Amino acid sequence: MATRVCITCGKDYYLKSEVYKNGQISPRRFCDDCLKDIQVKSGKRKSNLKSDNYNYTSDTRKISKRDGYAFILYEDIWQSEHRVVMEKKLKRKLVKGESVHHINGVRDDNRPENLELWVGGIRYGQRASDIKCHNCNEPYRI
């Protein structure tokens, strides 16, 4: 096996076979790592890395490329930012049947004044502030 120096990174690498079947000498001038990078960039090879479906705005915040929701690293796990913000605003955890709606429709705009609590799913639910008890006519407590 012949040793060569990669023209990109300068590492020494070995050619497994210096001569092709037709008798020509291999023109390869790159180590395996640099060759893979070149092939990935040119589209001749797919990357082995799984594509990440998030845009990271910091080490603790990311935005989903698929649906645009923001997630934050909170209590050592990734959680929906709008739900965490609403829980802090309410000073309690959300209960089953409650959902959070973005008033302006921008899914990564999680300012407390842009969020409202809904009871039921967003499509079929109602604003919590619009609901009153059937018996005592008191509004839903936020």
**Cα–Cα distance, 88 to 71 (Å, whole number):** 15
Average pLDDT over residues 125-132: 66
Q: Look up residue 35 and give its two tokens.
A: 């060759």
pLDDT confidence tier of residue 28, bands split at 50, 70 and 90: confident
pLDDT confidence tier of residue 24, bands split at 50, 70 and 90: low
Provide the pLDDT for residue 51.
Answer: 58
Provide the pLDDT for residue 90.
Answer: 94
Q: Tell me the C-alpha to C-alpha distance, in Å, between residue 113 and each of 53, 59, 116.
A: 28, 25, 8
Average pLDDT over residues 107-118: 94
pTM confidence score: 0.55
**Cα–Cα distance, 48 to 70 (Å, whole number):** 27
Per-residue model confidence as pLDDT tens digits over 51-84? 578 898 888 999 999 999 999 999 989 999 999 9
**Cα–Cα distance, 21 to 15 (Å, whole number):** 15
pLDDT confidence tier of residue 128, bands split at 50, 70 and 90: low
Q: What is the mean pLDDT of the chain?
A: 81
